[in-house]
Structure 1
Amino acid sequence: MEPADVLAGLDPEQREVAEAVRGPVCVLAGAGTGKTRAITHRIAHAVRSGAVDAQGVLAVTFTTRAAGELRQRLRALGAPGVQARTFHAAALRQLTYFWPRVIGGDPPAVIESKLPLLISASRHLGRDLERSELRDVASEIEWAKVTQISPEDYAEASRKAHRTPPIPAEDVVRLYDAYETIRRERHLIDFETILELTAALMTEHREVATQIRQQYRYFVVDEYQDVNPLQKLLLDTWLGGRDDLCVVGDPNQTIYSFTGATPRYLTNFPVEYPDAAVIRLVRDYRSTPQVVSLANRVLAAARTPHRMSLIAQRPDGPEPVFAEYDDEPAEAAGVARAVRRLADGGVPLREIAVLFRVNAQSEAYEQAFGEAGIPYLVRGADRFFERPEVRQAVVLLRGAARSAGADDELAPTVHHILAGVGLTPEPPGGGKAREKWESLKALADLAEDMAAEGADLAGFVAELERRAGEQHAPPVEGVTLASLHAAKGLEWDAVFLVGATDGMLPIVYAETPDQIEEERRLLYVGVTRARVHLTVSWALARAQGGRRSRRPSRFLDGLTGRPAARARSSSSAPRERRQAAVPVSCRVCAKTLVAAAEQKLGRCATCPVDYDEALLESLKAWRTTVAKEAKVPAYVVFTDVTLQAIAEKAPASEQDLLSITGVGRVKLERYGDAVLGLCRDAADRTENA
């Protein structure tokens, strides 16, 4: 491939990026504008034209999968020698190499999670904290470390940043300090320390800095709006005063400020580098004009000087749909019906996503899809190659590859092996069994695709190992359920943005103007995930029969173009006048509840509560029997949270039972008598005790 061929097919702005082979260069790339294409062609053009040496390029991004995609594209463009890594992977490689040479001994071991050390620190301090609290403390420590805040400065810094610590700030300080002490004593490093120590090695040992800077002379940083102060410190240390740097990002997609990320490094790039070339990519190749128009209007009211209007390049598509429901169960059921219509119309389930603000919102959709027989996967629950069935299958395939003969055909061999671990010709009904089947089917489909290209079993296993290293999972046939944060960087033919109410989007604890604007950008990210079909919906009440007091997100004001479409629901009661959303408070500590599961329980997950444990066990045993008889997953009958709520409230009448979220009219008719009977039996046992 000649250098000129690398530039073929680029639009004028992408070509301008590719031809700017030396830095400093700042690429402001809107959603769907082909930024990865632009920067990979830029690197390939620079290498193939001789402007730079491939070994001297370090392309940095934020996820293992994104780094793998960069490497794959660069190989295809004839630049296989370029290093494309995450910040942490690049730093750890350098730290591991230089530690024995300049410090001596083995380098520290890397911990995947802070939780075990925090448990030790908590016990050392005589505190008895829940794991959920310690996970939140870990997030606070991560924020402090990436923003270079020491334990003694945490309390004041968190107050100034308007953070809400999960426990008193003074206790976070003590845990943070104890955590760092234990980590150092045990010769361990976390992900933030990897970056700190690499920068420190270069700063304190000139020979280390000289060798690294001689190796890497040409830097590209993707998603630059997500860089935090610690990553910027390491990048500056790598550069050592040089300016051969290309950064790519979109300030309108800054949605990780709560982790310490800041867009100011991107927006101030021309100030830091006055001679920088600034190139804007605004041609959107992902979404239809209708979706792009809505995305532009979402940002029209944003308080930002860096707003970019996208220009759609695709043909026309359907207008976005705005749907209002009486309650959350009706919203979930309505989405399930709409998904079924899209699937019947030819849209693959893997090309459909349901996106929500917080992970707890997925429960209603898992239940609705389970009842409708629609397969789904929850993004962020576990990584594809870490699932037990996938790990088992890969081990078996690897063993088979070692003894495979020349005449063994790839696809039949893989199908035979996978059949032994659960792959059947037809999928099971739903739940965990369906999820396992979908994972195995994805492996089988990948084998068939590679067999068509002439691959053998050894090549297939090698491809699986490459994908596992890059977290590049094969597509799984099922609707994706994901938070808006987890959806960033992904796209689907059809997207359902659900729960778009004030108090959820923006989230109730977004108080400052900057926090509100980040919530607006989160909606923008959600809208721009859709290629063709987009539905934005909200529910006026949380539970069936509840007071319909919620209002649509303020970010939708003036965007629907007409009164919101009235969606069918089970309630025929007249619509009440919309009022501001009324926060749900914990009945124990009075704290405002945000998570759907906590709202269902009416209390914080960590607050103590008295309930009849025997009743809960009876309810679970009854649910198991009913689920087996109906041949459905247990959660289709009632979820664990719903059973917990029933055990805590011990309803004595149908009206009491109906007031519990997750118990609608249909389930009342099916299971009401049995559940109330169990509650009466529990009450009788208590009276006779």
Structure 2
Amino acid sequence: SWRGAKIGFIRGFSKEFPDAQTFKLEENFRSTGHILDASNAIIAQDQSRIPKTLYTRKGAGQPVEVLQFSYMSEEADAIAAEIGRRAASGCAWHDIAVIYRQNRLSRAIEEALIQARVPYEIVGDVGFYQRVAVKDALALLSLAARPDDRQSDEAFRRVANKPTRGLGVKGLGAIELRARDQDISLLAAVSETRLSQKAAAALREFERVVREIGAQEDLTVGDRMRLLLEDTGYYDMLRADDSDEAATQMENLAELADVADRYRKIDHLMEHASLASGAPGEKGKERVQLLTMHRAKGLEFRHVFLPAWEDNLFPGTNARNLDEERRLA
């Protein structure tokens, strides 16, 4: 589609031009019979469409399999297992695709593929652990775990001014210099550095929060992360932003917290995130393709998995046009 495109222009064309002839392009040269039967059944529910029934000369092909699962993680594990089985029988990784309605649905699939050691590529997006809010949350956890370790300095640089605390280039430079001179971490150097009144107050409060939450060893990693995001003002920063991007980041953080709840030690979560950020998600031909339905338009794959076909996900709760959702399906 393109900007300003509306299906009503096509549907109303014959009314505007009553002498126009209609030529239906009904033969499909890509898909097999079973796939077209399923597609025709879905789109037939659109009562205002121009009647058209797709057909193919390619034969019936393999039936469409419909499986039900109680949980998204269960569905993702089953997909990963089936992908592994097909690969073992000779199917090339790049002939397999997992296609979903929204980018945020990739996380469970990524987790399952990582555990199954299946190489994958996310088409047109970054991997879950490469997303901005996810990296910020991991940085906060790393900083809280080792506030006095110089290895936490990169984490400090990433989140010290999120949300804005009045820390500019000059102020950060002063902290860096103090840390180097005294051989201490950047977080520890905050209280040793002369800063503007605003920055000094905000950063010392930030240090207090990070240290206090980091010292609470009875918390799960997920609960510690939630506290850090709340008490440092990160959640409030996103809540104050009514953009779709901010809403997506909140969803990503909720997903990450669910993953983090499985761990008692931050190091174990970091190892998992490091594995997820490495080779499995790199670009390359021999990888399973993960992509949204919009990205999949015009592409062909021999093996396709379609997760999360359920109420409130596809169509979503904010789906403004159910007919458009049917066309995507």
Corresponding residue number in structure 2 for 1:433: 279
1:516 CA displacement: 2.0
3-state SS of paired residue (1:321): coil
Q: For 1:175-574, what aligned pairs fall within 5 Å after superposition?
A: 226-229=1-4, 261-274=5-18, 276-381=20-125, 431-436=277-282, 438-439=283-284, 476-510=285-319, 515-523=321-329
Residue 510 of structure 1 aligns with an amino acid whose one-letter code is A
Contact 1:350 1:480 in 2 (8 A): yes
> CA 1:434–1:502 in structure 2 vs 1: closer, same or farther (change >3 Å)?
closer
Contact 1:227 1:262 in 2 (8 A): no
> CA 1:434–1:499 in structure 2 vs 1: closer, same or farther (change >3 Å)?
closer
CA RMSD of aligned residues (A): 2.2
Q: For 1:64-143, what aligned pairs fall within 5 Å after superposition?
A: none
1:503 CA displacement: 0.8
Q: C-alpha distance in 2, partners of 1:307/1:356?
A: 27
> CA 1:434–1:510 in structure 2 vs 1: closer, same or farther (change >3 Å)?
closer
Q: C-alpha distance in 2, partners of 1:363/1:334?
A: 15
1:287 CA displacement: 1.2
Contact 2:118 2:280 in 1 (8 A): no
Q: C-alpha distance in 2, partners of 1:296/1:286?
A: 15
Q: C-alpha distance in 1, partners of 2:304/2:31?
A: 11
- Deviation digits for residues 13-70 of structure 1 (CA, Å, limit 9, x no counterpart): xxxxxxxxxxxxxxxxxxxxxxxxxxxxxxxxxxxxxxxxxxxxxxxxxxxxxxxxxx
The percent identity for this pair of structures is 30
> CA 1:343–1:304 in structure 2 vs 1: closer, same or farther (change >3 Å)?
farther
Residue 326 of structure 1 aligns with an amino acid whose one-letter code is S
Q: C-alpha distance in 2, partners of 1:227/1:278?
A: 23
- Deviation digits for residues 74-105 of structure 1 (CA, Å, limit 9, x no counterpart): xxxxxxxxxxxxxxxxxxxxxxxxxxxxxxxx
Contact 1:355 1:481 in 2 (8 A): yes
Contact 2:119 2:279 in 1 (8 A): no
3-state SS of paired residue (2:278): helix
3-state SS of paired residue (2:125): coil
Contact 1:227 1:265 in 2 (8 A): no
> CA 1:478–1:430 in structure 2 vs 1: closer, same or farther (change >3 Å)?
farther
3-state SS of paired residue (2:68): strand
3-state SS of paired residue (2:66): strand
Q: For 1:33-52, what aligned pairs fall within 5 Å after superposition?
A: none
1:314 CA displacement: 0.7
Contact 1:299 1:307 in 2 (8 A): no
3-state SS of paired residue (2:104): helix
Contact 1:353 1:481 in 2 (8 A): yes
> CA 1:300–1:270 in structure 2 vs 1: closer, same or farther (change >3 Å)?
closer
3-state SS of paired residue (1:355): strand
3-state SS of paired residue (1:281): coil
1:431 CA displacement: 4.5
3-state SS of paired residue (2:47): coil
> CA 1:290–1:328 in structure 2 vs 1: closer, same or farther (change >3 Å)?
same
Q: C-alpha distance in 1, partners of 2:51/2:88?
A: 38
Residue 433 of structure 1 aligns with an amino acid whose one-letter code is A
> CA 1:369–1:434 in structure 2 vs 1: closer, same or farther (change >3 Å)?
closer
> CA 1:478–1:279 in structure 2 vs 1: closer, same or farther (change >3 Å)?
same
Residue 301 of structure 2 aligns with an amino acid whose one-letter code is W
Contact 2:35 2:63 in 1 (8 A): yes
Q: C-alpha distance in 2, partners of 1:516/1:265?
A: 18
Q: C-alpha distance in 1, partners of 2:49/2:276?
A: 48
Q: C-alpha distance in 1, partners of 2:23/2:51?
A: 14
Q: C-alpha distance in 1, partners of 2:113/2:76?
A: 8
Q: C-alpha distance in 2, partners of 1:522/1:434?
A: 28
Q: For 1:586-665, what aligned pairs fall within 5 Å after superposition?
A: none
Residue 494 of structure 1 aligns with an amino acid whose one-letter code is H
Q: C-alpha distance in 2, partners of 1:483/1:522?
A: 10
Contact 1:303 1:517 in 2 (8 A): no
- Deviation digits for residues 511-560 of structure 1 (CA, Å, limit 9, x no counterpart): 6xxx222222221xxxxxxxxxxxxxxxxxxxxxxxxxxxxxxxxxxxxx
TM-score norm. by structure 2 comes to: 0.51
1:335 CA displacement: 0.3
Residue 493 of structure 1 aligns with an amino acid whose one-letter code is R
Residue 112 of structure 2 aligns with an amino acid whose one-letter code is A
> CA 1:304–1:276 in structure 2 vs 1: closer, same or farther (change >3 Å)?
same
Q: C-alpha distance in 1, partners of 2:85/2:280?
A: 21
- Deviation digits for residues 566-592 of structure 1 (CA, Å, limit 9, x no counterpart): xxxxxxxxxxxxxxxxxxxxxxxxxxx
Contact 1:375 1:430 in 2 (8 A): no
Q: C-alpha distance in 2, partners of 1:291/1:519?
A: 17
Contact 2:11 2:49 in 1 (8 A): no
Contact 2:28 2:56 in 1 (8 A): yes
Q: C-alpha distance in 2, partners of 1:307/1:351?
A: 33
Q: C-alpha distance in 2, partners of 1:346/1:278?
A: 45
Unpaired runs of at least 5, structure 1: 1-225, 230-260, 383-428, 440-475, 524-689
Q: C-alpha distance in 2, partners of 1:328/1:501?
A: 11
1:304 CA displacement: 2.1
Residue 287 of structure 1 aligns with an amino acid whose one-letter code is S
Q: C-alpha distance in 1, partners of 2:2/2:9?
A: 8
